[in-house]
Structure 1
Amino acid sequence: MWCCSNFPGGLDECLTRMARKGEVKVDAVKINLFHFEADLVANGWTAGCEEELFYAISADQTNIVANDMRWLNLDMRRYKRKIKAKEQALHETKVRAIKRGAKDPRENLADFKRFLRQKHGGSLLRAWRQSLVEGDSMMLHKGQFFKACVNLKWRTDVKGLWEILDTDTSGTIGIEELDFKAAEELALFRQFVMQKFGNATRTFAALDLDGNKNVSEVEFLQALKEFGYEQRDKHLFHALDRHGKKKINLEDILFLDSWKPMEFLLASPSLESAQNFKNRLREKFGTFLRAWKMVLDMDGSNTCTWEEFRLTCKKIGFKHDIAGAWRALDQKMAGTINLSDIDPASSSVLLDFRNWAMEEFGSVRAMFSVFDEDGSKSLSLKEFKRACRIYGFRGNLKGLFNILDGTGTGTLSVDEVVFLDRWATQTEADMEKAADSMSRLPSIIKTGQDSVAEEVAGPGQGQTVAKALEAGSWKDGDLHPAFRTWANCRRRRPVKKQDGSLPPLASQLDFGDARVVRRPVLLMAYVPEEVACEIQSARLPKIHRKAGFRAEGLRTAR
């Protein structure tokens, strides 16, 4: 697309700007190798390989003429169509952002939690009990939340804040939806004292070692030690200290009598139950993505709440340890799960595709409109693969198509892909998680993961790994970051460091290939000067030419 962005007039402008003095008509322009290289650099080309490009474009291998570049006008029409669709998508995104408020809802939630901690001594549980709910309830209704925000003088997108907290749209939220970890600690404490003492009154009497009707933090921790409670934590004391007086009384813990914690807060993770649940999904729906879209995440948000999970288990007849399966899937203890918790391989591929579409077209819907050149509102596998290659998405396109084709009809409709627009933008933590799923991919395949996921464990995921690498720090002596581009393009030429020297001996892997574990590792090493080697570019035909490189080369490790 470099020609399209630099020569908006298409073929005529390109050849006119490269023409020599005296060449007026476009059809009369002839550009030899020397002038081609000079003109590319003069017009801002920085990718290199000018000679290889010349011989790939020139039909007679001597000059480039107008007929050699007829493709440029077609590419220009595609480019303009893409830009128009992207501008429209970005405009629609901007309008939606204005309607809901400028700040991203997830950022707003993080700010709200930070505000509550600062106002309530660092404890969200104390904030919950002191400022959000009435009567020390462990359930918060929508009306109460809005009223609490008014009292707290919090005015930033309160409606959007509630929507992101109330993920199951039930109209109420529990403490676990605001602070999962604190809710778990409190639930375990409640379970322990109820089993040992029976109720809150007898619990307080046991905690009040000196009988003065108040329990300090030191006294609280000492009592728990004597009781044999192993989960001793000062944060638990702060959560029970409702008014922040550095002491608790009987009224502070009476809510434990009426609170009924969600069952998964008291469950232990069961990997066996989680695997049985996934097996049941595959039996019922064939693929994890189909199950995800049909029962677990019907609103397309890429999140599944506990209530949605519990109802799914009921629908599919799963009667094992439901809470244990949930805890095993929700390893990050977020209170929700997403597709990557069920099928990390497919999730990584879809995220790669979504992020690429968002960057190139502004939205997945806009991308589909550009891909659908005939206006049929559907894409066949052939159309999909062709469009992906034209616009630069690399990966196992057939596997990606099969993942998206949830109905198995052999065509894609806009409804089968537009759900990706509703997925939240990938954060740095998501990138690390996707990269981690790549590192586990061989074991996933070995243990019999979804067959479609096996097929798509291809170059598309290499983009995620490459981005994760790029985000890291490059220590002295490591490969230059340009290696990312080299690896993605599979160029067979080594990459120099910024100072012009070669990197030290280092491993080079095709990150996007799931079969890399069965391939020899390519090593970069010094070779004698002026060696005759074979240059091959991923985008160009194979060209046999003699080329001298200063101490550059590739050697296959035996």
Structure 2
Amino acid sequence: MSPMPEGAHEYPHQIPVANEQLGGSSSSFSPPTSPKTSRSNVGLQGRYSVGTQAKAQLVAMHALSEWDKNHEFETAGAELKAFFDKQGGGSLSCLKAWFKHFDKEQLGTITYKEFDHGLTALNYPAGRDHQLKVWQLMDDDHSGAISFDEFAVHRDSELWSKFRRWCGSRFQGPKDMIHQLKVHYGSVNGLEVNTDDVIHEREFVQSLPTFGWEGGSEDMFFHAFDVDDQGCIWFRHLKWIEVEVRRFKNKENAKRRAQKLASLKSRSNQESQAALNDFKAFLKRHYGPLFRAWRKCLDHDGSMTLQRAELFKACKAINWKGDARALWKALDHDNSGATTIEELDPHCAQLLANFKAWADDTCNPKTHSDIWDMLDPNNRKKLSYSYFIKQCEARGFHKKVKMLPVMLDWQDKKYIQEKDLDFFDVWRVPPWLNATPNPQAANAFRKHLVAKYGHSLKAWRVAMDKDCSNSCNWHEFQEASKTIRFHGDLAGAWLSLDVDLSGSISLEEIDPSAHASLFLFKTWCDQEFGGLRHAFRVLDADASGFLTLKEFKCACKNYGFPGDCNHLFFCLDQGNERTLQTHEVFFLDNWRTEEDPPANEKEDSIRGRNLQGCGRPGDRMLEYSTPNPGPGAYNVPSSFGAKPSCPVPGRHGGTFSMGARCGDSCVKPQKGLGPAKYVPSVENMILRKPSWSFADPGSRPMSARDAPRSAMSVGARQATGRPTTPG
């Protein structure tokens, strides 16, 4: 090996750079050193200057390009693995080399000085410049330290990460692990258990699978921990388990604190979506198309908007038994205080908007009467479905025209009248309902966001998702376009982003890669810690209130985050300060990770209870009705003696079948009214005669022997002259 450049050992975090890398004299890349005392935390405590960061990126890019051109191995870890296999004759694994020659203190990370000493002890044949390239490729975040995940190939690092987390969750420490494995081996083989703090290969290898380890490679782990090559493992060789046990306890404590709040929040979101699905199914079952239900029982004033109080009254009027508050939360997701038909049924709203746009282009109407005059040239006043469809097709409207009269006939008269079109006078159609998807406009909108804010996530949070719900509706999208001064096809851009016409978009439509990283991190934090706030407290081990790239990367890898930590960090670091603070992370707690319950448009909650044979206390008998009218159904006349041909305001549904009722949950057995319900001794009551009289109020009670036998009162007997006593 070539001699080490001067100053490398004295300043282990000052990494020399080869002459040919920067095209000049020898220079060095010196990331700022953390004032923290722990060796594993040395690195990015301060912030990089622009020049230092640019030099580091230049060095890394140059090293990677030189590596790709001149080396047969795909990664630096693959080259080291091949070297270890050759050096140890196949017995020196990456993990054993890590513990024996590099991370001797079992802290989880090594510096450049330890990396150099380890390769020197192993007689690494490559030159100093090549060794620097290997380090630069491993230390891709320029933190001045690397972990085993960066040191080894992906397969070995994943296996080691899985094993150490399993040990931390299964045992209480090194001595506990050795003791349990030895006790199990002795009990199975009928051997006396020694109490010393050492375990041999057979005890270790045969006992691990019994305790739940399913990853295999028990022999490799034993030889990796046997750093002294004595054929046994002492508890001092397993000090890393203490760190894993502390991490596991911290994670469980955080999860326990957040479990109750997380369950309530998740249940609230699920209840809102379930209430919306049930409400839609109820309306479709009883009224048909949702627009017909909208006009018939929801929007009574014809304003095409629905307030909160109006929704609650409508739910009570139609006898919907769901959670009205959860329903309103699902409908008014933008907290505007009102909901519209496009939020309830965007596909129906789009069809009506297309019809209105066609009418505007065809006859330029001022009111709905002009549209009606165009469709009713013969002044019929009433247009059948077929005639209405024929008139529309004759004038050039063909898009889903067969569905249009069914929706417009909100009174279910089987024909269309002029008043069925009056809502067009007050309905303010959103522009996106009549637009066509424009992917070029959507890409231009994304570029304007990044140009304005420099970071897609920052633009999303500041301009589009101010409530941190990972949802942006049309109105918020319009405001964001004004902020970034986007003057292109806004409606086409929106329709290109909102492909499913859900009425809202998420970060996934703006930046899919950032959304995937953040969503994976959010899901992982919820599962492992119970939420982002609790996860940040655990990851921030020194309670400094912020995380550097090195701290964030090491903590995530130590706790088992499966994603790309570098990409995640730069997604969250919106200010490019190379540190993460609490406000840059906590917004993810408001994101929803659970899937919405599947919507069943053919079955609502009432019908579901009928079919399943179960009910809730307090359900009305009207809820247990058959889909068809029962016996005795008739039209209710408008006045007494009205003929059947007279217009009627409604129809009596007749009796209701009890066949769909469940057994004991709603139809209870009749209670007896006899004396057995209120007299302790029934036998005595049967033998005794009544001790009260059947006289008028105020009369004196009579004995049981003199009581009259008939139902006539004593006063009535005296008035008729009959005797008041028997005989």
Please point out which of 165, 177, 182 is paired with 1:14. 177
Aligned CA distance change for structure 1 residues 390 and 219 (closer, same or farther; 3 Å): same
TM-score of the pair, normalised by structure 1: 0.72
Alignment of structure 1 residues 128-527 onto 2, 5 Å:
128-197=294-363, 198=365, 199-208=367-376, 212-427=380-595
Structure 2 distance, partners of 1:53, 1:209, is: 88
Give the whole-Å Cα distance in 2 for the aligned partners of 1:85 and 1:153: 44
**Post-superposition offset of 1:36:** 1.9
Could you say which structure has the larger radius of gyration?
A: 2
Secondary structure of 1:64 counterpart: strand
Q: Report the Cα offset of residue 46 of structure 1.
A: 1.9
Partner residue, 2:260 = 91
Kept in 2, the 8 Å contact 1:221–1:232? The answer is: no
Query: Equivalent residue for 1:452?
Result: none
- The structure-2 alpha-carbon separation of the partners of 1:223 and 1:137, relative to structure 1 and needing over 3 Å to count, comes to same
The one-character-per-residue Cα deviations of 1:506-533 (angstroms, maximum 9, x if unpaired) are: xxxxxxxxxxxxxxxxxxxxxxxxxxxx
CA positional deviation for 1:209: 7.5
Which deviations, in whole Å up to 9, do the C-alpha atoms of 1:128-161 show, x marking residues without a partner? 1111112222111222122212223335332232
Which residue number in structure 2 is paired with residue 25 of structure 1?
Answer: 195
Could you tell me which residue of structure 2 aligns to residue 506 of structure 1? none
CA drift of 1:428 comes to 8.7
Distance across 1 between alignment mates of 2:196 and 2:239: 12
Q: Which residue pairs with 1:543 in the alignment?
A: none
Q: Is the 8 A contact 2:315 2:324 kept in 1?
A: yes
Task: Tell whether the 8 Å contact from 2:271 to 2:326 is kept in structure 1 after alignment.
Answer: no
Q: Tell me, what secondary structure is at the counterpart of 2:199?
A: coil
Q: 1:406 to 1:276 in 2, by over 3 A?
A: same
Unaligned runs of 5+ in 1: 431-558
Distance in structure 1 (CA, Å) of the matches to 2:168 and 2:348: 55
Distance in 2 (CA, whole Å) between partners of 1:363 and 1:152 is 40
- Provide the secondary structure at the position in 2 that maps to 1:13: helix
Take 1:418 and 1:26, find their aligned partners in 2: how far apart are those partners? 48
Aligned position for 2:284: 117
SS of residue in 1 equivalent to 2:233: coil
CA distance in 2 between counterparts of 1:258 and 1:272 reads 33
TM (normalized to structure 2)?
0.56
1:456-512 Cα offsets, whole Å, 9 max, x none, are xxxxxxxxxxxxxxxxxxxxxxxxxxxxxxxxxxxxxxxxxxxxxxxxxxxxxxxxx
Q: Offset of 1:365 from its aligned partner?
A: 1.5
Alignment partners' CA distance in 2, 1:93 and 1:349: 21
Cα 1:119–1:24 shift into 2, 3 Å: same
Give the alignment's Cα RMSD to 1 decimal.
2.3
**What CA deviation, in whole Å up to 9, does each residue of 1:331-362 have, x standing for no partner?**
22111111111111111111111111112112
What is the distance in 1 between the residues matched to 2:494 and 2:500? Answer: 11
Per the alignment, residue 235 of structure 2 pairs with 66
Deviation at 1:55, TM superposition (A): 2.1
Equivalence for 1:82 = 251
Structure 1 residue 388, shift from structure 2 partner: 0.6
Q: Distance in 2 between matches of 1:96 and 1:399?
A: 29
In 1, are the aligned partners of 2:283 and 2:290 still within 8 Å (CA)? yes
Q: Which amino acid aligns with 1:193?
A: A
CA 222–45 in structure 1, closer or farther in 2 if over 3 Å, else same: same
**Structure 2 residue runs without a partner (length 5+):** 1-164, 599-727
**Amino acid corresponding to residue 154 of structure 1 in structure 2:** W
CA 1:322 to 1:97, structure 2 compared with 1: closer, same or farther past 3 Å? Answer: closer
Cα contact 2:392–2:401 (8 A) shared by 1: no
Q: What letter is aligned with 2:181?
A: M
Q: Which residue of 1 aligns with 2:272?
A: 105
Provide closer, same or farther for how the CA distance between residues 399 and 282 of structure 1 changes in structure 2, counting only shifts above 3 A. same
User: Residue 296 of structure 1 contacts residue 309 of structure 1 at CA under 8 Å; is this kept in 2?
Assistant: yes
Superposed displacement of residue 290, structure 1? 0.6
Aligned residues: 424
Q: Which residue of 2 aligns with 1:3?
A: 167
TM-aligned CA distance change 1:358 to 1:26, over 3 Å: farther
